[in-house]
Amino acid sequence: MTEPATVGLAQVLAALDEVRDPELDESVTSLGFVASSTVSEEGFASVRLRLPTYFCAPNFAFLMVADAYDAVSGVAGVTRTEIVLEDHFASEAINGGIAARSGFVESFGDLAAAELDELRADFVRKAVLAGTDRVCRPLLAAGRTTDELAELTLGDVPPSADRERLRSRRAELGLPSEDASPLLVDATTGEAIGAQALPLHLRRARLTRVSIEANGGVCRALLSERYATSGLGQKEEVL
């Protein structure tokens, strides 16, 4: 009989670090949403999540709990996974649905209009816009013109975490994400943004980034007020 691989808390937290709040495009660990986590010698991983308010949108919460379940279950050595959302008005429906591996509609019945694939895609499109601003602002500050930006490819941009984050989000949507791909593309169609349309596109990208980051600040403040403790894996600079 093959013994189960040993798995530790650090491996589970590393997996959770890849799970994002869909609206904020940040990991649940850096946001402080992981309240606790344990891993038994037999590989049973139990994780408890928390959110900034009791009434956080249940569809957003469902996505995070489902993604956390998939991420932790995929860790080598994990034999069983339990993800529990605490202190939320829809905890029972969400936790029960995820444990049963049910979809959003089956979990919420008549209260759910549809599954969440399109909602997820909408948030990734916003993440692409926000990422575009993060990548383009340093280029403009360094003296690049908008006409020059329209001609750049992803590979022309100096390597950075923001460039790779943008590449990753584009790949999630099936948009061009290779080095030879245009830097500036429509987040829905993947078509290159021409020089004439670029100023409006960059303004939209900036507004989207500012909105996402502002919402992130509000969520951190609410979470801190609600619990007054840092979450597992939470970085000190965001406390």
pLDDT digits (tens, 9 = 90+) for 177-202: 999 999 999 999 999 999 999 999 99
pLDDT at 6: 76
Over residues 41-52, the pLDDT tens digits come to: 999 999 999 999
For the chain, percent of residues with pLDDT exceeding 70: 96
Nearest Cα residue to 133 out of 223, 213, 220: 213
Strand partners, 34: 49
Q: Where in the chain is the domain with CATH 3.30.300.130?
A: 9-114
Write out the two tokens for 63.
């996505």
- C-alpha to C-alpha distance for 24 and 216, rounded to whole angstroms: 6
- C-alpha to C-alpha distance for 184 and 153, rounded to whole angstroms: 8
Does 232 have pLDDT greater than 90?
Answer: no
Domain 9-114 is in which class?
alpha beta
For the chain, percent of residues with pLDDT exceeding 90: 91
Nearest Cα residue to 151 out of 137, 136, 170, 129: 136
Q: Is 213 exposed, middle or buried (0-12, 13-18, 19+ CB in 10 A)?
A: middle
Residues written for the chain: 239
Over residues 75-96, the pLDDT tens digits come to: 999 999 999 999 999 999 999 9
